[in-house]
């Protein structure tokens, strides 16, 4: 049996710059994995791929990216073995934290271990990119810059990565999720209102990478305009947290999860109380650190 940690991620910087001819969107983003996430176990079986999950809301049929990843791995490697996957789900669905994509890459990692390293990293990256726009970033256990539709990945330079590593972050999500296809569709329908010119996005990123400004000065997400226009509970709470607690809080990806950067000596209890007072006891709250 092989067990693989499947981390959540946060988009610290996300600039969607326009829609492509193939229907996808181009973006420039800095994404960072967390020490919080799911766990995927892969147990050898006689034939085929099956999946069980402790969250009944998660599909365990061919719609799940774990099984799609397994089939893609078998096709690329020629491996004939079977596997039963068991997914312990902690990352909420519809959150913009990359849970499904991370699970897919965890499946690729697990299968490659069971197959004795049948595929090199570049082959795994190709499969990951074919499964979803933000899958490839999870092959890196460190912050990355994403470009294209998310498949073009480069490691964050060492000095910049050091400004992230180990930083505390508070994740929080209301009881509702946001569909990523809906968010991008709304962005396209309202074009060019929400798009960020690529040259401006690259210039802002380059300035932060080349300087020594704190992480707080990097944060941006132009998908907030789409999400906030429909889900008013998001901007209302984030504005309150900034005003009353002085924290830097943003939406991650297309949402609905948000995050607030925390100092090591920062007290979290008042923040938690404010979040739960606004969004109710059913909201998701989790402390984590960047890897």
Residues with catalytic function: 9, 134
The whole-angstrom separation of Cα 250 and Cα 15 is 13
The whole-angstrom separation of Cα 272 and Cα 260 is 11
Contacts 24+ apart (CB under 8 A), 18-26: 18/191, 18/192, 18/195, 18/198, 19/188, 19/191, 20/149, 24/133, 24/149, 25/149, 25/184, 25/187, 25/188, 26/147, 26/148, 26/149, 26/198
Q: What residue spans of 179-265 are helical by DSSP H?
A: 180-189, 198-210, 224-230, 233-245
Cis status, amide bond into 247, omega within 30 of 0: no
Query: SS3 for 31-85, per residue?
Result: EEEEEEEEEEEEEEECCCEEEEECCCCCCCCCCCHHHHHHHHHHHHHCCCCEEEE
Tokens describing residue 119: 């595929």
What single DSSP character describes residue 290? Answer: B
């Amino acid at each position: 049996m092989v067990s693989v940690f499947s981390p959540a991620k946060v988009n610290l910087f996300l600039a969607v710059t326009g829609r492509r001819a193939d229907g996808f969107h181009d973006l420039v983003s800095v994404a960072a994995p967390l020490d919080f996430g799911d766990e995927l176990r892969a147990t050898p079986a006689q034939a085929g791929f099956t999946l069980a999950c402790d969250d009944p809301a998660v599909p365990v049929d061919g719609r799940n990216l774990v099984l799609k990843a397994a089939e893609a791995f078998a096709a690329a490697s020629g491996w004939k073995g079977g596997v039963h996957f068991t997914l312990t789900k902690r990352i909420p669905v519809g959150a913009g934290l990359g849970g499904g994509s991370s699970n897919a890459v965890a499946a690729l990692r697990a299968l490659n271990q069971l197959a004795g390293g049948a595929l090199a990293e570049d082959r795994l990256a190709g499969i990951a990119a074919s499964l979803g726009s933000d899958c490839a970033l999870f092959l890196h256990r460190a912050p990355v810059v994403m470009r294209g539709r998310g498949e073009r990945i480069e490691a964050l330079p060492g000095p910049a990565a050091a400004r992230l590593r180990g930083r505390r972050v508070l994740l929080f999500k209301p009881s509702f999720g946001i569909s990523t296809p809906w968010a991008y569709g709304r962005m396209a329908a309202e074009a060019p209102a929400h798009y960020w010119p690529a040259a401006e996005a690259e210039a802002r990123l380059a300035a932060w990478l080349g300087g020594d400004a704190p992480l707080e000065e990097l944060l941006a997400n132009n998908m907030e305009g789409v999400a906030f226009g429909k889900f008013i509970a998001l901007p209302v709470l984030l504005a309150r947290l900034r005003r009353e607690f002085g924290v830097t809080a943003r939406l991650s990806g297309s949402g609905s999860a948000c995050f607030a950067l925390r100092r090591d000596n920062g007290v979290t209890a008042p923040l938690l109380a404010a979040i739960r007072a606004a969004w109710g006891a059913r909201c998701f709250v989790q402390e984590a650190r960047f890897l």
